[in-house]
């Protein structure tokens, strides 16, 4: 495999003006150490500005305008950062429990979710812990992803309490568990 060298552009003397000052100073010290007199060449490296007053004033105005633009942009970015921080701090906490609602008249409740569930639809309303428990024990469907029924300690044990009868179809245990699906009294 053959590698061909690409033609390189010949450097002119002007490339030195684009070197960082510490590199230039190092080269000057090195030249002086070797006893070379750079004379006017050193002077021209650091004095690459326009030689006349009119162009220097134009450059100053141009740079002042750029500084104003840069300062304005810095101020805008600092303001945005402060606003974002304020928004983050003052944002209301997400609700602990959410009911997803359907469409149509009365917007019927469809499903109960934990407030942080990523499966909540766009139509929703926040609910309290007690209301979420009530809705679940009344038979409203629980989200299968966040499982609010498990988080709220609501267990569906249709077969276990089939011999026990009650009016509401649910039984509360001494531990605070609510059991749904208990056959209701006729």
d(CA 177, CA 173): 5
Q: What is the 3-state secondary structure (H, E, C) of 122-143?
A: CCEEEECHHHHHHHHHCCCEEC
User: Residues 109-124: what's their mean pLDDT?
Assistant: 89
| Residues whose CB falls within 8 Å of the CB of residue 151, separated by 6 or more in sequence, listed in order | 114
More confident residue, 13 or 79: 79
Split at pLDDT 50, 70, 90, the class of 127 is: very high
More confident residue, 14 or 59: 59
Q: Is the pLDDT of residue 75 over 90?
A: yes
Q: What residues does each domain of the chain span?
A: 17-47, 92-150, 153-186
Q: Is the pLDDT of residue 104 over 70?
A: yes
For CA atoms 72, 75, 81, 86, give the dihedral sign.
Answer: negative
Split at pLDDT 50, 70, 90, the class of 178 is: low
Q: How far is CA 101 from the centre of its chain?
A: 29
Average pLDDT, the chain: 77
Query: What digits encode the pLDDT tens for the residues 139-148?
Result: 889 999 999 9
Q: Is the pLDDT of residue 97 over 50?
A: yes
d(CA 132, CA 129): 5
User: pLDDT at position 185, please?
Assistant: 46
d(CA 147, CA 164): 26
* Token representation of residue 29: 């010290």
Place of tokens 């010290």: 29
Query: What digits encode the pLDDT tens for the residues 21-56?
Result: 777 777 777 777 777 666 655 555 566 788 899 999
Pairing of strands 109-114, 141-142: parallel
List the one residue out of 90, 175, 178, 167 whose CA is nearest residue 129.
178
């Amino acid at each position: 495999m053959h590698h061909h060298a690409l033609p390189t552009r010949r450097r002119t003397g002007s490339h030195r003006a684009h070197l960082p000052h510490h590199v230039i100073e190092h080269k000057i010290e090195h030249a002086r150490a070797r006893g070379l007199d750079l004379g006017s060449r050193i002077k021209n490296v650091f004095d690459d500005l326009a030689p006349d007053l009119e162009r220097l004033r134009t450059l100053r105005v141009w740079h002042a305008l750029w500084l104003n633009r840069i300062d304005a942009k810095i101020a805008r970015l600092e303001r945005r950062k402060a606003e974002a921080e304020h928004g983050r701090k003052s944002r209301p906490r997400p609700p602990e429990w959410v009911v997803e609602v359907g469409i149509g008249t009365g917007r019927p409740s469809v499903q109960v979710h934990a407030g942080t569930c990523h499966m909540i639809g766009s139509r929703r309303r926040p609910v309290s812990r007690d209301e979420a428990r009530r809705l679940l024990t009344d038979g409203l469907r629980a989200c299968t992803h966040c499982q609010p029924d498990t988080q709220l300690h609501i267990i569906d044990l249709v077969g276990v309490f089939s011999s026990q009868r009650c009016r509401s179809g649910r039984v509360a245990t001494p531990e605070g568990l609510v059991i749904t699906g208990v056959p209701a009294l006729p």
